Amino acid sequence: MSYLLDLKKVVDVNSFTKNKAGVDKVGLIFDAWLSELGFKVNIHQRELIGEHRHYTSTKKEGKKLLLLGHIDTVFPEGKFESFSEDETWVYGPGVCDMKGGNIVALEALRQLKADGIEIANVDVLFVSDEETGSDDSKLLTAKLASVYDYCLVYEAAGEHGEVVTGRKGVGTFFVDITGVAKHAGNFYADGVDANLEAAIKLQKLVALTDLSKGTTVNVGKFEGGIGANTISPHAHLTFELRYKTTAERERVLTAINEIVTTSYVTGSTSTLSGGIQRDVMMSSDASFGFVKDIERITGTKLPTEERGGVSDANIVSSCGVITLDGMGPFGDGDHTVHERANKQSFEERIALSKSLIGYFIKNSGFKE
């Protein structure tokens, strides 16, 4: 498990998304490692966040495979930066989300190279802002994804080795409501209560939730008003939508627009901003067929699951690329100071990736 020393090297560098210097330092480390394997390093420079890095291999006729990860983490400097290990687990920021997954992909490629296999038609993309929603990188990822036939995403595996065939889509929205301020004692009837309008809208938005279809609308923040003696002249709602199907996306988006444009308190006005952050990654015949191909190639059963959380797999999948997520090691406690990853799962995921990528290179795809 010498690759755990490499994991320690990148975990020991703080790469909080807004720490550009730290994120870029981690990127440079991966540049050196992947260059040694013959990859060309393509840097997509950014001024305020870390650079996105696209590593390309030799191109031949046949299918193209993308290995996808991110190099940013969630904790600012001084909060959670140490790497440690015991007999069973490694601990630290990113050990499962997802520097650990990146190391799985790297080690599989190293072992293939050591076996004398020329790496061709297999590229790697590491973005720098996934933990803040991929707001910058998602357009780049979508553009680059268009040339690939398959994508393996190295977010953490499930507890029993599950890969991810589906993830909910997610959108974040903001409603700004304008009313008319008046003295609540002397001119109550002349005021237009923005807080009341927001409260009505909040209830109608939350009512769009349909748990039977996996759709949730959560108003996570409500702000408004001046004080107890003033009719509120302004209010602000922040809410999130998550959904499992495109049909639910369209249903809820249509209803959101109707709720926002309707004035339930006469005289109030409202504006909507925000939008879909990552579209849904829907399980499909193609993704389940891909799993069957993997089971045939490896001779083992590969469990699957869907997740409510999102990743950059959503972006690639939305481009029509056959995508499987959860190729990294199993871990838990991600986004907390208790983040850890299971050592044995590294071995299992490296072996799985080596087998799959080696088969892909040899056969120009995953089909027989």
| pLDDT in the model for residue 368 | 72
Q: What tens-digit pLDDT sequence spans the chain (368 residues)?
A: 899 999 999 999 999 999 999 999 999 999 999 999 999 999 999 999 999 999 999 999 999 999 999 999 999 999 999 999 999 999 999 999 999 999 999 999 999 999 999 999 999 999 999 999 999 999 999 999 999 999 999 999 999 999 999 999 999 999 999 999 999 999 999 999 999 999 999 999 999 999 999 999 999 999 999 999 999 999 999 999 999 999 999 999 999 999 999 999 999 999 999 999 999 999 999 999 999 999 999 999 999 999 999 999 999 999 999 999 999 999 999 999 999 999 999 999 999 999 999 999 999 999 87
**Domains in the chain: ranges and CATH:** 3-166+280-363 (3.40.630.10), 169-278 (3.30.70.360)
Q: Is the pTM of this model over 0.85?
A: yes
The tokens of 301 are what?
Answer: 């059963």
